[in-house]
Each structure stands twice: as structure tokens, then as C-alpha cells.
A and B are shown apart, each in its own frame.
Chain A
């Protein structure tokens, strides 16, 4: 009997509903609110000061799913934003211009903006604009790019120094003092959730995979990105893991029959998520691993928050998000996914909004085609702007690709 199916989805709905519910009341209750980003995020430190956390990226993607992005983006463009800049930013600016009213109710105003400059320059432009709009303090946590084989000790020291400085600012904003013990506890809980999350992701190494490591993982990843450090987050991943284990025992998977296993590079087109997934489902494609769920942290190979070294581990964590890695490291990571998750192909989804992801994707395709002789499909749309999704065109490309793969396979047997 299926006891745990849909638990990942339902539990998350409850968690996020509660989270957004609390947020809506935060200003009224005079509780401190911080805005921050997913990549490089230092939520443990902010939670230790009791901040409510708002993630504009997550808000933008929610708007995408709820088909509300187009209106906000237009609002921002009317205010002068170019059609060629990131749609997430425009979506968020659109919400701010609408006074925080959005499909999920009301967003609180920030008391503090924490910009992790981690693999995304747009982050900086984004919060500079919000700082001016909300007239509130902005802290830029400068996270050096992982640009070499090794991470220089000076990079970590620099981030730790800044974290201490951020802590002083948090104290000033909230009037509260930091309990190192509380910070350690938050960090410990984060590590626990990270362990479980990696186990969930690695379930996709099985054949057939019980999990879609992209289309499902991009939803399952929400708590690890926004609610780390809470017991609810740990409980959530215990639940998802159970769901996956049960799927294995019941022989269920994300699609009725797994025919192709692919690694997917790039973000999803949120405004057309279902249609996009359907393009692959039709061909029996499971994404066994993907890069997008690693934007908030690459935990696959042992990186964890560490209660013995809370500050250093928060700093290390801030540096090791997908877009803060150089191209060579990213490509090596995809190679590893292909090998460890037994993938038949690589799908690269380039999105106009995000150059941090997309610039270089065509080069990655070349690498896999020429050096690894791995079939690689390159497609384009956008993660935020509904206008850049051409379903017919995408379908033609996807169909042609998997038709050829199928052909090749039947020729081989």
C-alpha cells in the first residue's frame, strides 16, 4: 500500500504556506525581515538573529508557475528596464512597484538586504535597485569565484571576516545579540538536512530511477534552499526519502516507463513548466541528475555545514554553489553526473535571463559531443519571461533528438 506517495509535494505545500503566511504578518508584528538570494546564502546566520527570510528569486519563480510573471515583468519594463535584462529581476521589481501585492498575498518590506555576490553579477544590480527603492541597508557579501583547482585560504578568511561584519549589522538592525550556540544548532540541522537531501538525489542512480532529478528535484529543493537549519526541513527530507524508497519498493517512478536517462543543465522555464516536462515525458525521459538543484549548494561530494566550524562552513558553503564555479569545474561535474547516474545524453537548456548559466553552454555541448561522444541537445527559452517559450519549436528539436537516439539504440541491438 502506498503510504508516502505525494508526501514530498504535499508537505512542501504546507511548509511554504506557513512560511509565506508568517512573512505576510512580519512587518505588522514588527519582526525583522531580510531579503537574500539562493546562491551562496547564509540563512543560518540570519535565522540566528530571528529574521524572516524573503527570497526574491523564489518569489519570481512562484510568479512564473502561477502565470503571473508576465504582468510584473511588463510593469518593470514600463519603468525603464530593458527587454534584454534578467526576467527574475524585472518580475521582482514589478512586485515592489506593486507595493508587495502578489499572487500569494503580501510581501513584507525588508529591514535588511543581504546580497551574496556568488556567481551572479545580476544579484548585485538587483539589490542595489531594491536598496534604493526600499531605502534600507544593503550588505554585499563578496564571495570570491571558485576560479582555480584549489580554493585559496585567503578567500575563506575574507568571507568569514565579512560574515562577522554582517553579524554586527544584524545586531544593529534587530537589536538582538547572537547566540553562538543557537548558530551551531542551526548549522547542525542544516548538515542533517543536507545528508538526507543528497540521499534523495542519489536515489536517481537506480535504474529505473524513482525520482526525476530535475523536474521533481527543482521542487523538492525548495526547503534545502530556504528553510535549512530548521527541524521542519530535516523532517521534510526524511519524508521525501521515504517516499522515494517506497516508490522503489512499489516499482513506481516519475514516468510510467523509463526509456532514456539524461542529465539536464540549466534552469527550468517556470512559466511553462508542465509543457516543458511533457516534451520529455512523451519520450520516456527521466532526468537523473541536473545542475539547477546545485545552485544553492553542491553537497554531492561531502560538503556540509559543520557545527564545529560554523563560520568557516557557512563561508565554504557560500562559495560552492553551481554558478560560482568556473566552467571547467561545472563541466567536470556534469561529466561525473553522466558517469555516476548512467545517463544516455545531456540536455542543455539555455535561458536568456541568466548569462551566468547560459554563456558557455554551447561550448559545453561541443565538449560532450566531441570529446565524450555523448549526444547533447541544446535548446533555448527563458526561466522567467513567458514570451520566450516557443513550444512548437522546442518540440521539433526534442522530438528529433530522441528519435535519433531511439534509432541509434535499435540499430545497436
Chain B
């Protein structure tokens, strides 16, 4: 396949809010089920090991009309909660059998309850991801939480997940995450050969694909990328932070880059890379998954960090990626991100790293304002 064809395919997969890809997968796997997984991070290995397709929920991407959800969700709540409900209320979850929500924020918590009442045909569960990683009891707790969810999935699937099956799923996702890491490393070195819009499309395509197929697609792209030709443009390098849950429109990513930036580091679709190193298998795969979540150092607004760690980590990442500036780019009304912005802005100030705050919504239509803001930001850096 040509690389352009790959991106076209990804775009088609991403735009398909009816989840017809999922329907096709189910047709090819008679009797198998599909589970929608809300961001930021869900241990999709559990779903996969139960013989099901984990489907990444990413909101409506600005493609759908809000006819029903607006009456159920107040105006001060983020778009993804609204569009997720709308997708379900307009029958677009008909190819799903269940929904899994992680404990990321107050909105997601109640959204899970709203979904279970409004979509009685779906199995809905809520996974309480641990926040106190320093506790001696945390791995035991989280292992038991994973086991609880696994039982629920097994009942739905009508089978019992073996340790071997789970270990195999963990390996499959390890491979996927490894290629994603390679792609990110590639973009960091050669941002002119892989735009953030493209990287996002590639990653997001995995929302509806089986993990093995997605991994192959990523690998193939990576191979093709090394042959891609292009010249670096005179742009500044930036890190984009704060879009870990609801995703900004692709047009915004494009507008940012066209305004004179290379986004070389970001937290877009963070959940897909949450486990930043391989999950090490050591006999009990549930424990391995639990330990990995607890010990891995991924910092995000939806998980507690000891004082200063959040701020320090952003500054460290900015320095490692050798960026000229940071874009604090969060979804409108996303409280976890908005709270952290204060802290992060102060940290960047202290570290002398230029920064700009941007807000987005799924349904934003014009990108002139952010483009101008970014242009001004770029100029202020280039001519400082």
C-alpha cells in the first residue's frame, strides 16, 4: 500500500461513527462481542482476552448532530460526554455489546450511570483505577478489580478467560504499544515526515481495529515512512499537553502545525500509550497488568501525583523533546485539565519555557482564532 492510501483508510475508519468496521469484524467472528472503552485508559487486554473487540470511544469528532444529548447534559460539561450519549441515543452503539468506563473524572463517572440506564441492552461497567500508588495494598486491590471486570466480561462472553489467553493479549498490546512508541520517536526526530494529524489518524484507526491488524498497519507505515522524502521547514518545536481525553479536531492540529509549529510530543489519545514500557509477564498476568499500571510513570491530569511531580514531569518532557514552547491545549470544560493548567503554567514560567493556552471543542468550526494565536506565539519565540 502507498502511504497516502494508508492515511485515507485511517481517515475512513475514524470518520465511521456508525462503527460499521465493528459490524464487519463481528460478522467475521460469529458470536463474538464488542465493548466500547471510554478514555483515558482502560485495560483493553481484558476485553481482548475474552475474545471480544475493544472499541475505543473517542466522542463524535464534530461529525454528529446533537439532537438528544443536549437535553441531558448541561452546557458546562465537556463535549465528549455529550457526544458519547448522542452516539448511543441515535443507535450508533448497536454494534456494541457493552461499555467500559474508567474512573477519570466526575463527569465520566456519572456518564457511565447515564449510559447504563439509557442503553439497557448494553453491559456497562466502571473500573476504579487506583489513585494511591504508594500504598502497600494497591496492587492487590487493583488486581482484584481487574479480576472483577474480567468475570463480568466472561459472563457476557459465556466463557472463561485463561491465564494463557490473557498473557497472549498482553503480548499483542505490548507489540502495538512498541510500534506506537517507534512512531512517536520517529515524529520527534522527523516531524516534517510525519505530521501530528497523520500520527493521530494512525493511532485513532486502532479504535475500531483488532490489535494485531492495527499493529501490522502501524508497522507497515513505519517502514514506508523511512522512505518518505521531505525537507524540514523553519518551524518551532512544541509539546502539546492537556488533550488526553476528549480529542481536538484534526483541523486544529493541522492549523497549529501550519501556523509554524511541529508538535513533537503530546498527550493525545494518551491511553493507547499509557503503559510506556512492556508489561512484563511473570506467571500471573492479572498481577502483571496491575503492577504495570501502578508502577509506570505516565503522568496525567486524571491520576494523582505527589506534589511537584506533575509540574516537574512536564518540564522534563519539554526539555527531553527539545521543544521551544508548550501548548496547554485542553477541552473546554474539562476540569482535570483546567485545574492542572494553573500548576503547569507556573512551572513553565519558572523554567522559562514559553507557553500558550488553547481551548477546543469537538464542534468548533472555525480555526482562525487559534491559528492567529499560535502564529503570534511562534513569532514571539522566533523573534525573541
Contacts and interface: CB of A to CB of B under 8 A. Distances in A.
Interface of A: 79-82, 84-86, 89, 117, 119-122, 124-126, 128-129, 131-132, 135, 138, 140-142, 144-145, 147-148, 152, 154-155, 157-158, 161-162, 165, 323, 326-328, 330-331, 350, 352, 354-356, 358-363, 366-367, 380
A158 B141 CA distance: 6
Interface string B109-138: 111111011100000011010111011111
A380 B112 contact: no
Q: How large is the interface on B (under 10, 10 to 19, 20 to 34, 35 or more residues)?
A: 35 or more
B333 interface: yes
B140 A157 contact: yes
A363 B74 CA distance: 11
A189 B107 CA distance: 36
B76 interface: yes
A132 B145 CA distance: 31
Contact of A132 (B107, B114, B307, B335): B307
Interface string B76-109: 1100010000000000000000000001111101
B128 A145 contact: yes
B336 A125 contact: yes
Contacts of A121: 104-106, 109, 302, 335-336
B332 interface: yes
Contacts of B110: 327, 355-356, 359-360
Closest 9 CB pairs of A and B: A327-B113, A161-B137, A158-B141, A154-B144, A125-B339, A142-B132, A360-B110, A356-B106, A359-B110
B338 interface: yes
Contacts of B81: 359
Contact of A154 (B106, B113, B135, B141): B141
Nearest to A162: B135
Interface centre among B137, B305, B340, by most chain A C-beta atoms within 10 angstroms, is B137
A82 B337 CA distance: 10
Interface of B: 71-74, 76-77, 81, 103-107, 109-114, 116-118, 125-126, 128, 130-132, 134-138, 140-141, 144-145, 148, 301-302, 304-308, 310-311, 332-333, 335-336, 338-343, 345-346
Contacts of A152: 144-145, 148
Contacts of B72: 362-363, 366
A81 B339 CA distance: 7
Contacts of B111: 359-360
A147 B126 contact: yes
Contacts of B105: 121, 355
B380 to A, nearest CB: 19
A112 B296 CA distance: 27
Contacts of B116: 327-328
Contacts of A126: 339
B130 A142 contact: yes
A203 to B, nearest CB: 31
